[in-house]
Amino acid sequence: MRLKGAQILVEALKKEGVEYIFGIPGGVLLPIFDVLYDSPIKFILTRHEQGAAHAADGYARATGKVGVCIATSGPGATNLVTGIATANMDSIPMVIFTGQVRKKLIGNDAFQEADVTGITRPITKHNYLVKETGDLAKVIKEAFYIASSGRPGPVLVDLPVDVTIEESEFEYPEKIELRSYRPTYLGHPGQIKKAARLIKESKKPIIYAGGGVLIANAIQELKELVEKTSIPVATTLLGLGSFPETHPLSLKMLGMHGTIYANYAIMNSDLIIAIGARFDDRVTGDTEKFAPEAKVIHIDIDPTTIGKNIPVDVPIVGDAKNVLKELNKIVQKPDIEDWLTQVKEWKTKNPLRYSRKGGLKPQYVIEEIYKLTKGEAIIVTEVGQNQMWAAQFYSYTKPRTFISSGGLGTMGYGLPAAIGAQFGSPDKVVFDIAGDGSIQMNIQELTTAVLNKLPIKIAILNNSYLGMVRQWQELFYKKRYSHTYLLNPDFVRLAEAYGAVGFRVIREEDVVATLKKALNIKKPVVMDFIVKEEEDVFPMVPAGEAIDRMIEMA
């Protein structure tokens, strides 16, 4: 069967089970969009290419499937870059298609030409420039396989317009084998035995669970390990939801804005069992002072992650689910009653807290969202103080219910990611917890939400500042608020202009009633919570300090 390249692309996407494509059309993409016109695949027209990338990312995080987005050549493709880098840092499976000028024009500074494969090579797991229509089916199969296997990540496919116009025989490969790419899924039995021995001998162990637990769908295996050993669990930001925070052995999040008791526990431990985490700087603080007495077991499917930041005693390369299954068969409970007593004492003495005095507090808003949604909502965040309060004061008990930009820390991520998450989970309540600075970076995607009748709830914690930067200026730069004060628009009228519903809340006593009203409205709702301007996120570890050297309250 001979098909044009555009037809091959769409047929391949159908075979990959693609439900949604997020993006914006453009000149060199017209052959593809002409075929999409009659396709069962739903195309979601965003208002900016960055929004398309974040929406595909949010869809992928909410569902575990591969997110797909597309943009035209030149500026369309370069507008995707921030979204691609966000997905790459957080190991999110995405396939990105970009249009390109005709093959003979590549390198000639043609209209809307950019070296997209060159630009994105450092921020993709792999990328392709397709030069022959006959290669297209195989490339697409490879792209989806690479994106979703091993340590997932974004894969970009650059499509010269003549590749999409020319014809070729279409035969979609049933499977792909790449000689140079063979992820290790099974952990080494000898290393797993060493890990079990260290666990049995430990007196002060802690489990450090990252986003890799969620990616590997190792939720039950982690829970079984905890039930067999009684070892307490701290999670990373992206690991939230990998272990229920209502469990007595949960220490919630550790690191720069983690709980006091999680940071005390890991710093005083004698064994760290790291699962699907990478010991990034927001967790370790000063690496020279990090957990000085602890031996380290590190389980990760990406061998380059192990030992990258912290020396490791027992490295185990493999899929977290498979490794934990084998470990659970032989692991024995260590004698750690004294340790559990100490950890419980830290938890009792050092809960997350804030003062209710001095106006409406953002932490209170998050707590009430949790109470009303009973932990069942998907919480998507922007980046900054809003992100940290959402991590601290909403209790995550289920996987894929916390969606946020972790490694790159991308402002403007939340709203488009919430759109993708709502498409992926249409029966779930989706909240975007936003800051007044971050929400404006992709505010145009309100149109996308409105036109697609998505009942997303947007809670803006409006303190009139670029809050996290202002907090650092307050604590370390003598309150010299250099260019962090924001003169914001009227968010209620702005929401209404886009066709959404808008509410403004100034008093604490109006929070619950407004949230209840919003939850009963079947369209996008923007809630502008006017919170205390100089409220800070605590605990906080200053940059370069050990993570048990926390500022607990101002």
Share of the chain above pLDDT 70, in %: 100
pLDDT for 1: 84
Backbone angles phi, psi at 428, to 5 degrees: -95, 150
For domain 189-349, which architecture applies? 3-Layer(aba) Sandwich (3.40)
Q: Which CATH number fits domain 362-530: 3.40.30.10, 3.30.1490.20, 3.10.129.10, 3.40.50.970?
A: 3.40.50.970
Q: What is the DSSP string of 97-136?
A: EEEE--GGGTTTT-TT---HHHHHGGGSSEEEE---GGGH
CA 275, 278, 281, 285 torsion-angle sign: positive
Cα separations in angstroms, 392 against 258, 275, 385: 8, 21, 11
What would the pLDDT profile of 435-456 be if each residue is shown by its tens digit?
999 999 999 999 999 999 999 9
Q: Which long-range contacts (CB under 8 A, 24 or more apart) does 337-345 make?
A: 338/203, 339/203, 339/204, 339/205, 340/230, 340/232, 342/204, 342/268, 343/232, 343/251, 343/261, 343/265
Q: Residue 554: which pLDDT band, with cuts at 50, 70 and 90?
A: low
Cα separations in angstroms, 220 against 320, 326, 388, 452: 11, 13, 26, 35
CA 168 – CA 16 distance, rounded (Å): 20
Domains 2-169 and 362-530 share a fold: yes
Please report which helix (H) or strand (E) contains residue 502, including its range. strand 501-505
Partners of 155 in beta bridges:
95, 126
What burial class does residue 152 get, using C-beta atoms within 10 Å of its C-beta: 0-12 exposed, 13-18 middle, 19+ buried?
A: buried
Quick one: 2-169 is in which CATH superfamily? Thiamin diphosphate (ThDP)-binding fold, Pyr/PP domains (3.40.50.970)
What burial class does residue 32 get, using C-beta atoms within 10 Å of its C-beta: 0-12 exposed, 13-18 middle, 19+ buried?
A: buried
What would the pLDDT profile of 43-85 be if each residue is shown by its tens digit?
999 999 999 999 999 999 999 999 999 999 999 999 999 999 9
What would the pLDDT profile of 102-161 be if each residue is shown by its tens digit?
999 999 999 999 999 999 999 999 999 999 999 999 999 999 999 999 999 999 999 999
pLDDT for 65: 98
Q: Does the pLDDT at position 89 exceed 90? A: yes
Q: Does the pLDDT at position 527 exceed 70? A: yes
Backbone conformation region of residue 224, classed left if phi is above 0, alpha if psi is from -120 to 50, else beta: alpha
Q: Could you tell me the residue ranges of all domains in the chain? A: 2-169, 189-349, 362-530
The answer to whether 484 and 466 are in contact (CB under 8 A) is yes
Share of the chain above pLDDT 90, in %: 98
CA 50 – CA 438 distance, rounded (Å): 14
Query: Length of the chain, please?
Result: 554
Backbone angles phi, psi at 42, to 5 degrees: -85, 120
The answer to whether 211 and 239 are in contact (CB under 8 A) is yes
Mean pLDDT score across all residues of the chain: 97
pLDDT for 553: 78
Residue 535 has which token pair?
């409220």
What would the pLDDT profile of 488-525 be if each residue is shown by its tens digit?
999 999 999 999 999 999 999 999 999 999 999 999 99
Q: State in Å, rounded, how far the first CA of the chain is from the last one.
A: 70
Label residues 327-364 b or e (16+ Cβ within 10 Å = b).
bbeebeebebeebeebbeebbeebebebeeeeebbbbb
CA neighbor of 468 nearest in space, from 433, 431, 435: 435
CA 503 – CA 365 distance, rounded (Å): 14
pLDDT for 207: 98
